[in-house]
Amino acid sequence: MVPEPVTGPPPKVDGKALQEGLRRYLREHNLPVTQQREEIAAAIFHANAHLSVGDLERTLRDRGVRAGKATVYRTLDLLVRAGLVQEHDFGEGFKRYEPIVAQSHHEHLICLNCGKVVEFSSDRIERMKQLIADQYGFRPHHHRLEIYGVVKDCQRRDAITLEPRGTSSQGRAG
């Protein structure tokens, strides 16, 4: 029997399904399906990162899409209300956005040096959540776990920066 992995990447985003979900939401709420809304949503649905408004504006500009800041903010608000995008505040002074994958939950590791966000899923955390809730007679609705620290690349860079001049890790007795 193969042991189950402790953690893994979250499920992949189906951008086309989310795009159709946006169109359905707009029709159900008698809102126009505009090219700007579609382009803004597509930029988020197909990104491999948690985008800030600035990131989103750069992506749109690089694609030749003209959308004002107000349109971007209104569309983000609409995508959050539609349940297609999740808003995150990682303590950077601005919000980041990511598409919501149906029937999945994932956690975040946030680097305090470079701001990199690593996503992972953990069956153990999901089981622990339920065990703790059961212990207290609590019915959980949702949770959020964000672990702040330093990614390996930043740890290595900092270790090299902090190493005294004229020494190297080679030739040292260990």
pLDDT digits (tens, 9 = 90+) for 62-89: 999 999 999 999 999 999 998 888 888 8
Pick the CATH number of 105-174 from 3.10.129.10, 3.30.1490.190, 3.40.50.2000, 3.30.420.40: 3.30.1490.190
CATH class of 13-101: mainly alpha
- Token readout for 19 is 């795009």
Q: How far apart are CA 94 and CA 57, in angstroms?
A: 14
Q: By 3-state DSSP, what share of the chain in percent is helix, strand and coil, each rounded to 5?
A: 40, 15, 45
State percent of the chain over pLDDT 90.
36
Average pLDDT rounded to a whole number, residues 124-137: 89
pLDDT score, position 79: 94
Q: Is 146:110 a contact under the CB 8 Å cutoff?
A: yes
pLDDT score, position 65: 92
**CA of 41: how far to CAs of 10, 51, 83, in Å?**
20, 11, 12
Q: Domain boundaries in the chain?
A: 13-101, 105-174
pLDDT score, position 13: 66
> How much is the pTM?
0.59
